């Protein structure tokens, strides 16, 4: 048995710079891996993909990104995925799992990794990087040790719905602003996100940001000197606060 770490990715900012003819959006973003990790247990003598703590949002069939990554590298293995990264939280959990398999198999090109999803090329590299194109242009940046507090609601947000809403809003004359061009579209897709962000900013200030397409929010630094994780009742349900740091890989 082999244990693989699959660290989550944090999107510090997200600028959408264009849209290709195939419908994919071009972006410019700074991303870092953080110490919130899924664990993959690999049995090289077997052939299956299972989720140790299954949810309806994580498939265990051939559509699972781990299964697709194994197929991409022409390998078979039994893989048990132990999830810690929230599903639909904008932290790249599925992409991180797939990237862990790619690294285990020796790695693939950024273009090949991109066939699994826009976050997979970065997750395969890890650390800190400038990410451009549709995710395939990954320029490593010097590592910076940064503390961060994640704020994770009990609901997720569909990335595809966010980008579709972004296009609809742009067609209506709306212009994206701020550090994350998907914040307003994500709030349209999931109104609980808007009310929660407003509530958090009233208490912790304007530096509370949305991570990627959400639903995870974050603020740089640790907001409490006590335990690294705790729950708070917000305006739309329980919020999980999780204090962590960036990682070099």
Average pLDDT of the residues in 214-240? 92
**What are the structural domains of the chain?**
2-140 (3.30.230.10), 147-247 (3.30.70.890)
Which pLDDT score is estimated for 16? Answer: 97
Measure the CA–CA gap between 44 and 76, rounded to whole angstroms. Answer: 7
Measure the CA–CA gap between 78 and 83, rounded to whole angstroms. Answer: 16
3-state DSSP helix/strand/coil % of the chain, to nearest 5: 25, 35, 40
Which pLDDT score is estimated for 57? Answer: 67
Measure the CA–CA gap between 100 and 4, rounded to whole angstroms. Answer: 6
Look at residue 216 and tell me whether its pLDDT is greater than 70: yes
Using only C-alpha atoms, what is the Rg of the chain? 18
Q: Residue 173 CB: number of other CB atoms within 10 A?
A: 6
Average pLDDT of the residues in 49-67? 81
pLDDT band at 214, cuts 50/70/90? Answer: confident
Measure the CA–CA gap between 51 and 57, rounded to whole angstroms. Answer: 11
**What does pTM read for this prediction?**
0.94
Active site residue ranges: 9, 119
Give the H or E element holding residue 241: strand 237-247
Which pLDDT score is estimated for 56? Answer: 55
């Amino acid at each position: 048995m082999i244990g693989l770490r699959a660290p989550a990715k944090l999107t510090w900012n997200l600028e959408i710079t264009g849209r290709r003819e195939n419908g994919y959006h071009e972006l410019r973003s700074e991303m870092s891996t953080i110490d919130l990790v899924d664990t993959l247990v690999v049995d090289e003598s077997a052939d299956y993909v299972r989720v140790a703590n299954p949810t309806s949002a994580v498939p265990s069939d051939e559509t699972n990104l781990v299964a697709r990554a194994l197929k991409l590298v022409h390998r078979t293995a039994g893989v048990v995925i132990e999830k810690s990264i929230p599903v639909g939280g904008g932290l790249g959990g599925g992409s991180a799992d797939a990237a862990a398999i790619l690294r285990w198999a020796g790695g693939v090109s950024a273009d090949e990794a991109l066939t699994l999803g826009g976050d997979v090329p970065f997750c395969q590299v890890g650390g800190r990087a400038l990410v451009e194109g549709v995710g395939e242009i990954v320029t490593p940046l010097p590592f910076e040790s940064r503390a961060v507090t994640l704020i994770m609601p009990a609901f997720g947000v569909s990335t595809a719905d966010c980008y579709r809403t972004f296009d609809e809003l742009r067609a209506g004359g709306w212009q994206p602003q701020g550090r994350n061009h998907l914040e307003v579209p994500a709030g349209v897709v999931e109104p609980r996100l808007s009310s929660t962000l407003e509530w958090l900013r009233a208490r912790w200030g304007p530096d509370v940001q949305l991570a990627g397409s959400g639903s995870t929010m974050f603020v740089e630094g640790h907001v409490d000197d006590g335990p690294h994780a705790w729950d708070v009742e917000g305006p739309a349900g329980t919020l999980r606060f999780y204090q962590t740091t960036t990682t070099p890989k």
